[in-house]
Chains A and B, each alone.
Chain A
Amino acid sequence: DQQVKQNSPSLSVQEGRISILNCDYTNSMFDYFLWYKKYPAEGPTFLISISSIKDKNEDGRFTVFLNKSAKHLSLHIVPSQPGDSAVYFCAAGSLRYGGSQGNLIFGKGTKLSVKP
């Protein structure tokens, strides 16, 4: 059973507009969430994270929102740029989950295309 779900395989946005990527999780023990960005033929790179004690974290054009009651987080990119076109993975982790100390559970990813 998927514990981290990204239900939109793809998203297309016009340059300059907002991109909103969504992620849902099922395990209430997750207490740390991350977004990774992946370009073709490269490994994923860390983008932004949020702890469960917060509901928002901002870094430049990127903001992650966490709604713990809904077990939902979203990544907002404003304004979107063509260079943001990539696959975005949502990931979740917890020190309490299964005794693991560094493991992350990844979603399937959402491919973002930003049109000029």
Chain B
Amino acid sequence: DAEITQSPRHKITETGRQVTLACHQTWNHNNMFWYRQDLGHGLRLIHYSYGVQDTNKGEVSDGYSVSRSNTEDLPLTLESAASSQTSVYFCASSEAGGPYNEQFFGPGTRLTVL
């Protein structure tokens, strides 16, 4: 069965360290998204990609970067982790063609920055 996975599921790091969160989908979807979920804020879009070599900034992109070298993967990098980036991160994917196509979410990565 097709799926979307995230790793690690839990991560503790220190302020200033570089951290990369992995996202891998086997749906062969063109669109991939990274969100963060925080209490009182819901799901906020960090970065998104509509295909290989395409990346775009979302609502809360400062301090984050992504790269898309193949269809299956969209790793999220925190260049220099800050305590404000402590959050739960969700990756999602969907077929191309607009918001009418359901976004499938991964199980999430809980990141703690000390």
Known: A101-B31, A101-B96, A101-B97. A46 touches B41 (CB 8 A): no
Task: Tell me if B99 and A106 are in contact (CB < 8 A).
Answer: no
Q: Mark B72-99, 1 if CB is under 8 A from A, else 0.
A: 0000000000000000001010101111
Task: Tell me if A102 and B42 are in contact (CB < 8 A).
Answer: no
Q: Which of A65-94 contact B (CB under 8 A)?
A: 89, 91-94
Looking at the assembled complex, report how far the CB atom of B41 sits from the nearest CB atom of chain A, in whole angstroms. Answer: 6
Task: Tell me if B107 and A43 are in contact (CB < 8 A).
Answer: yes
Alpha-carbon distance A104/B102, docked complex (angstroms): 10
Task: Tell me if A42 and B103 are in contact (CB < 8 A).
Answer: no
Task: Tell me if B90 and A102 are in contact (CB < 8 A).
Answer: no
Partner of A94, one of B99, B101, B106: B99
A-B contact pairs, 12 of them (CB 8 A): A43-B90, A49-B100, A49-B102, A51-B100, A92-B99, A93-B99, A101-B97, A102-B48, A102-B99, A103-B33, A106-B44, A109-B43
Task: Tell me if A108 and B103 are in contact (CB < 8 A).
Answer: no
Q: Is B52 on the interface with A (CB-CB < 8 A)?
A: no
Task: Tell me if B105 and A95 are in contact (CB < 8 A).
Answer: no
Q: Which of B30-52 contact A (CB under 8 A)?
A: 31, 33, 35, 40-45, 48, 50
Task: Tell me if A102 and B94 are in contact (CB < 8 A).
Answer: yes
Contact residues of A with B, CB < 8 Å? 6, 32, 34, 36, 41-46, 49, 51, 89, 91-95, 101-109
Task: Tell me if A109 and B42 are in contact (CB < 8 A).
Answer: yes
A31 and chain B: residue at smallest CB distance: B99
B110 and chain A: residue at smallest CB distance: A41
Q: Which of B15-30 contact A (CB under 8 A)?
A: none
Partner of B43, one of A41, A49, A89: A89
Cβ contacts under 8 Å, A101 to chain B: 31, 50, 96-99
Cβ contacts under 8 Å, A91 to chain B: 43
Cβ contacts under 8 Å, B45 to chain A: 103-105
Known: A94-B99, A101-B98, A104-B103. A42 touches B31 (CB 8 A): no
